[in-house]
């Protein structure tokens, strides 16, 4: 039996906003998260997934306002995990961390990625939960974005019982976006984004530190 995904717009309306920058991320030498993100995109387009992941992880260290970097850091980490190798488990943990952090901040692309990821992993409860958050993400709806096809949404919806569905709906109704605060990059990331050297190895962004008082609000180079 199919169940209609609930309309939770009133409860999830804040998800449309995601994180916001109260203060600017701190950076040095005229470089910043935009530079790291741009280098990550170029590496991704060239098929250098490991290098792209490192640059996106650097951009994510700038915290709020760079949810798109958190998303790409997560998806590239999961791609590296699927490739196998001795770091596969670490990359999978990183991927879940980046996507969950940005998904909880209201970033729709991360919510959709988590829904499909958990569906592929056979975790029906989490797949339904993230699907509910994504399909009720007001920001995504207002921009006309469609990141999940209807067949996938239907398959996820049908993967749980009516009781599980109702329980997950209650959980989704309690969702409140958790803003990612602005942060500071590591010295290695600072050097990498200024072109002094390439980033080396996995660098997971931690809970960002708050930037100094008085910094001006800024927006990253790309909101998507």
Picking from 40, 82, 12, 47, the residue whose alpha carbon sits closest to that of residue 205 is: 40
Residue 95 is assigned to a structural domain of this protein = yes
Q: How far apart are CA 19 and CA 3, in angstroms?
A: 31
How much is the pLDDT for 33? 87
- DSSP H/E element including 13: none
To the question of pTM greater than 0.85 for the whole model, the response is no
Domain with 39, as residue range(s), is: 31-105+179-202
36 with 63, same domain: the answer is: yes
State the SS3 of 103-156: HHCCCHHHHHHHHHHHHHHCCHHHHHHHHHHHHCCHHHHHHCCCCCCHHHHHHH
Tokens of 176: 């409140």
Nearest to 152 by CA among 131, 175, 123: 131
Query: Do 78 and 184 sit in the same domain of this protein?
Result: yes
Residues 59 and 165 in one domain: no
pLDDT of residue 87: 95
pLDDT at residue 156, as a whole number: 97
Q: What per-residue confidence (pLDDT) applies to 199? A: 58
Question: Do 35 and 146 sit in the same domain of this protein?
Answer: no
Shared domain check, 163 and 115: yes
Q: What is the pLDDT of residue 192?
A: 76
| 97/213 Cα distance (integer angstroms) | 28
Q: How many domains are there within the chain? A: 2
Instruction: Indicate whether 18 belongs to any domain.
Output: no
Instruction: Please give the average pLDDT of every successive group of 10 residues along the chain, which has 224 residues.
Output: 47 37 32 85 96 94 94 98 96 97 96 98 97 94 91 96 96 95 88 65 50 29 30
What are the contacts of 40-46 at 24+ separation with CB within 8 A?
Answer: 40/69, 40/72, 41/72, 44/72, 44/76
How far apart CA 8 and CA 127 sit, in angstroms, is 17
Beta strand ranges found along the chain (DSSP E): none
Query: What's the confidence (pLDDT) of residue 16?
Result: 37
Same domain, 122 and 162: yes
């Amino acid at each position: 039996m199919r169940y209609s995904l609930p309309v939770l717009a009133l409860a999830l309306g804040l998800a449309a906003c995601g994180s916001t920058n109260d203060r600017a991320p701190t950076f040095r030498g005229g470089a910043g998260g935009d530079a790291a993100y741009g280098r990550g995109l170029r590496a991704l387009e060239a098929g250098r997934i490991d290098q792209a992941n490192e640059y996106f992880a650097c951009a994510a260290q700038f915290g709020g306002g760079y949810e798109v970097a958190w998303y790409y850091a997560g998806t590239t980490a999961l791609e590296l995990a699927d490739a196998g190798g001795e770091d596969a488990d670490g990359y999978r943990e990183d991927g879940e961390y980046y996507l969950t952090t940005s998904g909880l901040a209201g970033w729709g692309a991360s919510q959709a990625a988590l829904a499909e990821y958990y569906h592929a992993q056979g975790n029906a409860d989490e797949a339904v939960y993230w699907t509910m958050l994504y399909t009720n993400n007001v920001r995504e709806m207002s921009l006309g974005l469609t990141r999940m096809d209807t067949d996938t949404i239907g398959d996820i919806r049908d993967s749980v019982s009516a009781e599980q569905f109702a329980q997950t709906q209650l959980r989704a109704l309690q969702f409140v976006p958790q803003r990612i605060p602005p942060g500071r990059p590591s010295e290695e990331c600072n050097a990498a984004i200024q072109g002094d050297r390439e980033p080396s190895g996995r660098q997971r962004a931690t809970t960002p530190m708050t930037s100094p008082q008085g910094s001006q609000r800024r927006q990253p180079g790309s909101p998507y």
